Amino acid sequence: MSIKVAVNGFGRIGRGFLRAALAQGADLDIVAANDLTDAKSLAHLLTHDSTDRRRSRAVPRAAT
The tens digit of pLDDT for each residue in 31-57 reads 888 899 888 888 888 887 766 666 666
Q: What is the pLDDT of residue 21?
A: 86
> Model-level pTM?
0.71
pLDDT single digits (tens) 2-40:
899 999 998 889 988 888 888 888 888 888 888 998 888
- How many domains are there within the chain? 1
| 52 within domain boundaries | no
| 63 within domain boundaries | no
| 34 within domain boundaries | yes
| 58 within domain boundaries | no
| 17 within domain boundaries | yes
| 57 within domain boundaries | no
| 22 within domain boundaries | yes
Domain enclosing residue 38, as ranges: 3-47
Q: What is the 3-state secondary structure (H, E, C) of 5-61?
A: EEEECCCHHHHHHHHHHHHHCCCEEEEEEECCCCHHHHHHHHHECCCCCCECCCCCC
| 42 within domain boundaries | yes
